[in-house]
Structure 1
Amino acid sequence: MTTLSTSRFYRAKTALRQRGQNMSEYIIIASLIVVVSIGVFGIFGLMTRHQVASMALEIPGNKKC
């Protein structure tokens, strides 16, 4: 009886450890995506802002010549 309960305990402990490891991996991947997104926005942010501003000027028909 004790062998069975010990076996269940170790299986449950292993399952919890794997669940924690999976969560840690998701957090690392999510943080990498955030860092890369901030970097890309930093590089292309000014260009994107200018393109959006020029489109906003063209919508009502105001063209810069």
Structure 2
Amino acid sequence: MWKNCGDNSGLQDILVFNDTYNFVRNDTIYSRLVIDSPIAVINRIDSYYGERRLYLNRLSDQKTYRYCEQ
């Protein structure tokens, strides 16, 4: 599970990857809530003081969103 920890909140506040909510194929995140539609592309995963951070680019506007692992 990943929680939005950035300034922007244009995507879901919490990203859960399972059979009900979201899944990843290659580098793209798909939402099962909107009939398996692509919502973002993974930009990178970094480690910040031992905490993993996930950076995503939303497909609709290419803005970058930061998520912290929970």
TM-score computed with the length of structure 2 as normaliser? 0.15
Higher percent of residues as strand: 2
Q: Larger radius of gyration, structure 1 or 2?
A: 1
Q: Which has the higher contact order (CA 8 A, sep 6+)?
A: 2
Higher percent of residues as helix: 1
